[in-house]
Amino acid sequence: MKDSVYWADQTWPEAKAMVEKGAPVFLPLGSTEQHGHHMAVGVDIILPTAICERVARQVGGLVLPTIPYGNRSQPRSGGGPAFPGTINLSAQTFSLVVRDVIVELFRQGVRRVVVVNGHYENIWPSIEGIELALDAIGRSNLEDLNILRMDHWEFARPETIARIFPDGYPGIELEHASVIETSMMLAVRPDLVDLDRSLHDGPAQFRPYDRFPRPPIEVPPSGVLSMTEGSTAEKGEWLFADAVEKMVEIVREEFEIGN
């Protein structure tokens, strides 16, 4: 077997051999979405892919091509559609992609799937996509299919959060393009981060409701919902370590895979 854990890098007999061994298959869900003046719009593609690669190496899995377009960015969680650079799918389109991929995996014998999400707005349509896949496969034909769905930011340990935010955590909802994502990008793709350009117009003071069709004026013009000060590659590595360690543990336990 070659060194790569990416599905797309395997020949079909290699993919076949992995599937027959019961290798867990990871599907990263990304987006193309503004992440402030200081980071590339591909952040949500890069981070879940990088996490999946690390986890897959430890558990003997394969990482599918990342879905690079996500469900509609919303003003309160990602800045919303008013930012150029953001390219949204509708919820139905996104769900259908997830459905089709999972149905195909099932068809060729994959029974251990881990959907790893990197974009807040993908949470619900990824759930829907999985449900639609179960419908399409047939609820009575699911055999030993086992699908896990994870949002990578859920696995930061409280101790890590406390270390990163000694003055208090603004909360995950405002973390878009902020310290957590910036630090993680500094850890894996520092070439796509330019802290000198980060603006200081946050944190956003969102009203607790949505307005359509006009975007709320509370969205910080920079697109950074909270703040970027204090972002470092080291903190990014802490966060990666948390996510990878926890995900490896979950995958091993849920799929009953030994070390």
CB 18 within 8 A of CB 62: yes
Return the number of the residue (170 or 234) whose C-beta is nearest its own copies: 170
CB 214 within 8 A of CB 127: no
Return the number of the residue (69 or 240) whose C-beta is nearest its own copies: 69
Is 37 annotated as catalytic? no
Is 44 annotated as catalytic? yes
Q: Which of 38, 128, 152, 176 is catalytic?
A: 176
CB 78 within 8 A of CB 181: no
Return the number of the residue (9 or 234) whose C-beta is nearest its own copies: 9
Is 33 annotated as catalytic? yes
Q: Which of 38, 53, 121, 128 is catalytic?
A: 121
SS3 27: strand
Is 38 annotated as catalytic? no
Least Å distance between CB 259 and its own copies?
20
DSSP 256: T
Residue in this structure with the two tokens 């790893």, named with its chain if needed: 116
Among the residues of 3-70, which ranges form H helices?
12-20, 43-59
Q: Which of 128, 151, 175, 181 is catalytic?
A: 181
The DSSP H or E segment spanning 236 is helix 233-255
Q: Which of 33, 53, 128, 151 is catalytic?
A: 33
Least Å distance between CB 112 and its own copies?
12
Is 35 annotated as catalytic? yes
Is 176 annotated as catalytic? yes
Q: Is the dihedral of CA 94, 97, 100, 106 positive or negative?
A: negative
Q: Please spell the DSSP secondary structure of 56-108, one letter per residue.
A: HHHHT-EEPPPB-SEE---HHHH--TTSTT-BEEPHHHHHHHHHHHHHHHHHT
Return the number of the residue (126 or 234) whose C-beta is nearest its own copies: 126
CB 74 within 8 A of CB 121: yes
Is 229 annotated as catalytic? no
Q: Which of 44, 53, 175, 242 is catalytic?
A: 44
Nearest to 163 by CA among 80, 243, 234: 234
Least Å distance between CB 164 and its own copies?
18
Return the number of the residue (186 or 234) whose C-beta is nearest its own copies: 186
Q: Which of 38, 119, 152, 175 is catalytic?
A: 119
Least Å distance between CB 130 and its own copies?
5
Rounded-to-integer distance, Cα 38 and Cα 35, Å: 7
Least Å distance between CB 23 and its own copies?
12
SS3 2: coil
C-alpha gyration radius of the chain:
19
Least Å distance between CB 31 and its own copies?
10
Return the number of the residue (30 or 236) whose C-beta is nearest its own copies: 30
Active-site amino acid positions: 33, 35, 44, 119, 121, 176, 181
